C-alpha cells in the first residue's frame, strides 16, 4: 500500500471518528452548506404585457418580450427599493408614438451602431429601425433559468437579434450577451449598441482608460456641456441637467449610476479584439441626459467594435449589470468605492 493510500484512509478515519464523537455527545453532525438559490422564471403581467421575471433570492429581472426589453432590475425582498431603470410614466400597450413615430418605452434595449448609418441602410435616420426597437421578440428559457430574446429578421440589415439574459446564482449580477446574426441580404458593417435608460440620478460616473484616445478622456456629442462635469484622475462624473439635453462619448467601458436606491454598475466584459478594431465614431461608451421638457431620464450606453458581417457571421457584446446597496452618503465617495480611486 502506498503512502498516498495511507493518507486517504487516515482522513476517512478522522471524519468517521468526528461523527461518532458528535453522536456520543448528543450533537448532530454539522449540516452541509446550503446551495445558492437557483434561478427561477415566473410569468406575470407588466403594464398590460406578459412579462418574465427572473429571480435568485438576491435580485429580480423583469423582461417584456413583446417590446424586446429588460424593463427593470431590482434587489429582492419585501421593502427593497425600486430598481433604477426608467420606464415611461404612461407605459402600456396603448402608449402612443411621439411626433416622429417613436415610442420611448424605457428599459434596456439594443440598436445597431453607428446611428449615422441608419439612413443609408434602413432608409431613415430616425426613429430607430423597428426590428431592434419596437418589434415583438420570442422568448426561450433554458434549464438554468437563462432567458434568450430572439427578434424577427430585420429586412434592412438582414440581422436577427439574440439577447441572452443570465442572472447569477444568489447574487445581484446580470450578464447580457447581445448578438447580431447575419441571416439574409448583402454584407453589412455594424456594431452592437446597448442602451440602458435610468431614472434621474444624483450623479453618473465613468471610469476612463489608462490612456484615452480622446483629449481629456471624452468628447462632447451635443452642443451643451453636461451639468457639473468633472474629471478626477480616471473618474469622470456628471449630473443630469433639467433644462438641456447633453451627450458625451468615451473609450471607457465601465459606467455607474448613483441615485435614490441601489447603485447600478454597467460594464463591458473583456473580449479579445482584432488589432486596429474600429469602434463606432471611436466610442466604447456614451452618456446621454434628457431634459425635463422631454422626459427626466438618462442613458448609459455601451458599444462593440464594428464588424463587416457576411451571411452566417455575427457580432456580439457582453455586458454585466451589478446592483449594489448604496453605502456612502457622498456620491463621489460611493463611486470611488465601486470603480476605484
In a domain, 12, yes or no: no
Q: Is residue 5 part of a domain?
A: no
- Interval 147-202: pLDDT, tens: 999 999 999 999 999 999 999 999 999 999 999 999 999 999 999 999 999 999 99
Q: Structural domain tally of the chain?
A: 1
Within 13 A of 181's CA, how many CA atoms are on the CB side? 11
State the Cα–Cα distance between residues 205 and 238, nearest whole angstrom: 7
Looking at residue 11, what is its pLDDT?
40
**Rounded Cα distance, 195 and 134, in Å:** 14
Is 45 within a domain?
A: yes
Q: What is the pLDDT of residue 276?
A: 84
pTM: 0.89
Evaluate whether residue 28 is within a structural domain.
no
Whether 332 is covered by a domain: the verdict is: yes
pLDDT of residue 31: 59
Provide the residue range defining the domain that includes 65. Answer: 40-339
Please check whether residue 320 lies inside any domain of the structure.
yes
Q: Is residue 168 part of a domain?
A: yes
Convert 288-327 to b/e letters by CB count within 10 Å (16 or more is b). Answer: bbbeeeeeebbbbbbbbbbbebeeeeebebbbbbbbbebe
Contact 105, 280 (CB under 8 A): no
**Which residues of the chain carry a pLDDT beneath 50?**
1-25
Would residue 187 count as lying in a domain?
Answer: yes
| CATH number reported for the structural domain that contains residue 290 in this entry | 2.70.98.10
Q: What is the C-alpha to C-alpha distance for residues 62 and 165, in angstroms, rounded to an integer?
A: 10
Q: Identify the pLDDT of residue 28.
A: 56
Chain Cα centroid distance, residue 144:
19
Amino acid at each position: 500500500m502506498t503512502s498516498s493510500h495511507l493518507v486517504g484512509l487516515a482522513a476517512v478515519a478522522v471524519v468517521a471518528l468526528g461523527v461518532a464523537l458528535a453522536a456520543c455527545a448528543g450533537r448532530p453532525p454539522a449540516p452541509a452548506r446550503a446551495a445558492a438559490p437557483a434561478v427561477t422564471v415566473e410569468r406575470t403581467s407588466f403594464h398590460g404585457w406578459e412579462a418574465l421575471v427572473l429571480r435568485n433570492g438576491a435580485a429580480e429581472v423583469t423582461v417584456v418580450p413583446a417590446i424586446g426589453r429588460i424593463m427593470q432590475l431590482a434587489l429582492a425582498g419585501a421593502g427593497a427599493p425600486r430598481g433604477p431603470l426608467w420606464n415611461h410614466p404612461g407605459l402600456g400597450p396603448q402608449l402612443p408614438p411621439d411626433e416622429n413615430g417613436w415610442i420611448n418605452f424605457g428599459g434596456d434595449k439594443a440598436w445597431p451602431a453607428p446611428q449615422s448609418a441608419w439612413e443609408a441602410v434602413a432608409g431613415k435616420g430616425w426613429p430607430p429601425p423597428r426590428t431592434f426597437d419596437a418589434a415583438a421578440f420570442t422568448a426561450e428559457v433554458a434549464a438554468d433559468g437563462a432567458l434568450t430574446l430572439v427578434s424577427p429578421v430585420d429586412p434592412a440589415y438582414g440581422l436577427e437579434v439574440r439577447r441572452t439574459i443570465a442572472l447569477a446564482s444568489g447574487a445581484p449580477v446580470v450578464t447580457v450577451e447581445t448578438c447580431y446574426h447575419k441571416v439574409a441580404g448583402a454584407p453589412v458593417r455594424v456594431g452592437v449598441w446597448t442602451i440602458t435608460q435610468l431614472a434621474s440620478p444624483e450623479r453618473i460616473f465613468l471610469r476612463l482608460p489608462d490612456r484615452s484616445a480622446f483629449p481629456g478622456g471624452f468628447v462632447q456629442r451635443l452642443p451643451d456641456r453636461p451639468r457639473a462635469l468633472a474629471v478626477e484622475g480616471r473618474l469622470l462624473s456628471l449630473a443630469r441637467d433639467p433644462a438641456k439635453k447633453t451627450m458625451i462619448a468615451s473609450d471607457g467601458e465601465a459606467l455607474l449610476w448613483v441615485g435614490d436606491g441601489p447603485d447600478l454598475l454597467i460594464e463591458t466584459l473583456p473580449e479579445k479584439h482584432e488589432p486596429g478594431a474600429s469602434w463606432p465614431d471611436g466610442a466604447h461608451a456614451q452618456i446621454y441626459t434628457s431634459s425635463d421638457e422631454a422626459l427626466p431620464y438618462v442613458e448609459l450606453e455601451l458599444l462593440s467594435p464594428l464588424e463587416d458581417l457576411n451571411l452566417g457571421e455575427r457580432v456580439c457584446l457582453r455586458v454585466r449589470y451589478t446592483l449594489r446597496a448604496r453605502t456612502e452618503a457622498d456620491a463621489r465617495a460611493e463611486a470611488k468605492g465601486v470603480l476605484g480611486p
